[in-house]
């Protein structure tokens, strides 16, 4: 018995006490909040280098680490040392992965792999993507093939021998040892996404990462103060304008990677008051067969606490309509049955090539959709109506309004971005006709008043001669409306036109949204008034009342480039008005002359706009009320919005003054009286 017991003890000592080799390291992502499981030597790596900070630098760029904690070596910059992991054995695929940042000098700052028996260095990796200023502290992923060491016991060592002041440290996180095939595939995708490169199925993550990596390059001080623009790159049409979960959501067409139109995504901002906006992640990316060439414009609908986005999928030689949904208003899932409308649903007279921009609403338990279209037989525009009981199965219901040769002079060809809504007891169709002959913008934006016949899907009782432009400026296109939580019909539009380069393209961002406007219909005319919430941002009130004859006058305290100006002008019939953004040999004019308000930016764009008059001077007919005209003017660095006589007419235009061109002056050719009230608009 003693002999048997002795043999058991021997066997146990030989085999039972020898633990199987570890295939992972201790505390691989520093989620203990300290250096537990690692051996530190020198001064570079101490417990205080483990941090939960998520941003770095003056621009608050994101580290993009994993978990809560990571190792931020900058805390002990210029100090040297090593940090050694526990021992592990190479198994599975033989691949290792980790995140790395910093480490400008790869000869002095690197990750080494060492033989656990001999302490011989077997291989090393460093931050090959370091590129000041783009790739500095932010994490990129390393995928390391050590399969030639299969079965060998090794350990990792974080080495920092750099004493310089130039990124002389390492940031590391998320060590993954002995990846499986599935993990390897995942991290290969992650490595691409972290560089902003799209990988199949991860296009949305990649574009958001690209913005995170690059938006800091845009000088925020050069952006508008209270108008929406993209974080970086190009924006156009407003999309999905909706009130959801207690906030106003505005999406927009977006190409983050360039300042010109390109692969269309849906950018996203939210606001509590239509003035101060916050960026959210990109909502939609072109990543499906039915939207491979762009997630084009569309609308949104809140249905029982679920947000539905309706948009056009652009694919070669045709366009289709698709749906995406969200419960939080941030993360969207595209419907598996997309597209919900394609060429098989179109009537014979509608082109599948030009079939875009769905606007959806609900009435009496039925859902209705209008879509811009071009006719097959003659290329004139039309607005098609569809209806559905469940949002996924749609039937063609009628042609709301159709262009002919008789409408060409005012409505041109293709009709984009339709919106239909009721104001009072009439319905209003707004849309953006293209290729309007002789138009200052080549493309227009109009409103049509009529009566909507829900049985036939037609807009009836239209007075063609009463069809009017929504805005008489140079930069107003693709407007969209929503009903807010107060029951107001609010409209916003793209503050740009297609036939001109945006004035700020050279600054890294292109295109803006207009100041949102409350809509009313009075005597068949569309009235636009700035959302009253803008008044909450007024500061530094200045007033003046005076008359001048054949001269120019400025008022102390009225200068600035982010302003609201309330001007009552009483002219004697000759030219009289206001000069905005006055500087050295530059100014933008708004004045009354011969029954018109004239806007003139000829000397207000620093050569960014062709100097021909058709690109710079626009005239709006107005009637004096008791001998006066009332102007409410909003300035915001690169924009002028002029609301005339309580919003009966509006002029919206971009400008590009010098930064020091902040003067405001009043002028006459003849005699005129001025009553002026101004405010700075300050949005912190």
Active site residues: 237
Contact 82, 160 (CB under 8 A): yes
Beta bridge partners, 96, equal 144
**How is residue 363 written in tokens?**
């009435």
**How is residue 671 written in tokens?**
């005699």
Residue 348 buriedness (CB in 10 A; 0-12 / 13-18 / 19+): exposed
Q: 77: how many CB neighbours lie within 10 A of its CB?
A: 18
Q: Calculate the alpha carbon distances from 57 to 53, 131, 132, 137, 339 in Å.
A: 11, 15, 13, 9, 44
Helix spans in 399-515 (H) = 408-411
Residue 409 buriedness (CB in 10 A; 0-12 / 13-18 / 19+): exposed
Cα–Cα distance between 26 and 85 in angstroms, integer?
A: 7
Cα–Cα distance between 345 and 355 in angstroms, integer?
A: 11
* Distance linking the first and last C-alpha atoms of the chain: 87
**How is residue 577 written in tokens?**
């008005």
Helix, strand, or coil (residue 192): helix
Residue 551 buriedness (CB in 10 A; 0-12 / 13-18 / 19+): exposed
Contact 451, 460 (CB under 8 A): yes
Q: Name the one residue in this structure whose structure tokens are 């199925």.
A: 201
Residue 152 has phi, psi (to 5 degrees) of -90, 145
Give the alpha-carbon dihedral of 30, 33, 38, 41, to 10 degrees.
120
Task: With residue 11 as reference, give the H or E element that holds it.
Answer: helix 2-11
Cα–Cα distance between 269 and 225 in angstroms, integer?
A: 15
Beta bridge partners, 447, equal 430, 468
Buried b (16+ CB within 10 A) or exposed e, 354-376: bbbbbbbbeeeeebbbbbbbbbe
Helix spans in 138-256 (H) = 181-194, 203-214
The dihedral built from the CA positions of residue 312, 315, 317 and 321, taken in this order, carries a sign that is negative
Q: Calculate the alpha carbon distances from 38 to 44, 45, 261, 511 in Å.
A: 13, 10, 50, 51
Contact 287, 311 (CB under 8 A): no
């Amino acid at each position: 018995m003693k002999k048997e017991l002795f043999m058991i003890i021997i066997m146990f000592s030989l085999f039972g006490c020898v633990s199987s080799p570890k295939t992972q390291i201790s505390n691989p992502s520093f989620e203990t909040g300290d250096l537990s499981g690692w051996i530190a030597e020198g001064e570079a790596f101490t417990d205080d280098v483990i941090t939960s900070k998520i941003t770095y630098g003056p621009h608050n760029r994101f580290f993009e680490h994993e978990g809560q904690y990571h190792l931020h070596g900058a805390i002990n910059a210029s100090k040297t040392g090593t940090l050694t992991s526990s021992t592990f054995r190479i198994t599975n695929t033989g691949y290792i992965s980790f995140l790395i940042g910093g480490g400008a000098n790869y000869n002095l700052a690197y990750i080494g792999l060492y033989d656990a028996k001999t302490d011989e260095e077997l291989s090393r990796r460093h931050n090959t993507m370091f590129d000041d200023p783009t790739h500095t502290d932010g994490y990129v992923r390393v995928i390391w093939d050590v399969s030639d060491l299969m079965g060998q016991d090794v350990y990792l060592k974080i080495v920092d021998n750099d004493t310089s002041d130039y990124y002389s440290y390492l940031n590391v996180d998320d060590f993954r040892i002995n990846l499986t095939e599935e993990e390897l595939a995942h991290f290969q995708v992650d490595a691409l996404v972290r560089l902003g490169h799209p990988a199949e199925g991860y296009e949305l993550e990649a574009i958001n990462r690209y913005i995170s990596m690059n938006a800091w390059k845009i000088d925020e001080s050069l952006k508008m103060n209270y108008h929406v623009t993209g974080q970086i790159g190009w924006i156009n049409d407003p999309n999905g304008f909706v009130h959801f979960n207690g906030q106003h959501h505005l999406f927009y067409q977006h190409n983050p990677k360039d300042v010109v139109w390109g692969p269309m995504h849906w950018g996203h901002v939210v606001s509590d008051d239509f003035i101060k906006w916050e960026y959210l992640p990109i909502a939609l990316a072109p990543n499906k067969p039915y939207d491979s060439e762009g997630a084009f414009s569309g609308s949104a609908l809140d249905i029982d606490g679920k947000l539905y986005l309706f948009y056009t999928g652009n694919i070669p030689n045709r366009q289709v309509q698709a749906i995406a949904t969200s419960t939080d208003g941030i993360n969207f899932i595209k419907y598996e049955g997309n597209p919900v409308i394609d060429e098989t649903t179109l009537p014979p007279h509608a082109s599948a090539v030009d079939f875009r921009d769905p606007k959806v609403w609900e009435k009496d338990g039925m859902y209705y959709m209008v879509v811009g279209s071009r006719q097959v037989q003659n290329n004139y525009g039309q607005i098609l109506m569809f209806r559905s009981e469940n949002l996924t199965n749609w039937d063609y219901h009628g042609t709301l309004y159709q262009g002919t040769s008789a409408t060409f002079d005012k409505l041109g060809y293709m009709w984009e971005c339709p919106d239909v809504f009721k104001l009072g007891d009439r319905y209003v169709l707004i849309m953006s006709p293209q290729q309007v002959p002789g138009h200052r913008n080549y493309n227009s934006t109009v409103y049509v008043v009529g009566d909507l016949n829900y049985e036939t899907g037609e807009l009836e009782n239209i007075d063609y001669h009463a069809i009017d432009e929504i805005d008489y400026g140079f930069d107003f296109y693709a407007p969209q409306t929503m009903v807010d939580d107060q029951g107001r019909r609010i409209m916003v539009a793209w503050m740009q036109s297609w036939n001109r380069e945006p004035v700020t393209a050279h600054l890294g961002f292109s295109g803006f949204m207009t100041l949102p406007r409350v809509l009313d219909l009075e005597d068949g005319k569309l009235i636009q008034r700035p959302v009253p919430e803008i008044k909450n941002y007024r500061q530094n009130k200045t007033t003046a009342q005076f008359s001048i004859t054949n001269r120019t006058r400025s008022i102390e305290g009225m200068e600035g480039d982010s302003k609201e100006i309330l001007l009552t002008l009483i002219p004697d019939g000759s030219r009289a008005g206001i000069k905005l953004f006055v500087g050295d040999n530059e100014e933008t004019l708004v004045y009354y002359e011969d029954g018109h308000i004239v806007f003139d930016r000829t000397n207000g764009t620093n050569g960014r706009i062709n100097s021909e008059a058709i690109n710079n001077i626009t005239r709006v007919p107005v009637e004096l009320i008791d001998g006066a005209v009332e102007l409410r003017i909003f300035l915001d660095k690169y924009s002028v919005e002029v609301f005339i006589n309580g919003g009966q007419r509006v002029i919206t235009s971009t400008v590009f003054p010098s930064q020091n061109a902040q003067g405001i002056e009043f002028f006459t050719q003849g005699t005129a009286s001025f009553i002026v009230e101004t405010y700075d608009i300050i949005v912190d």
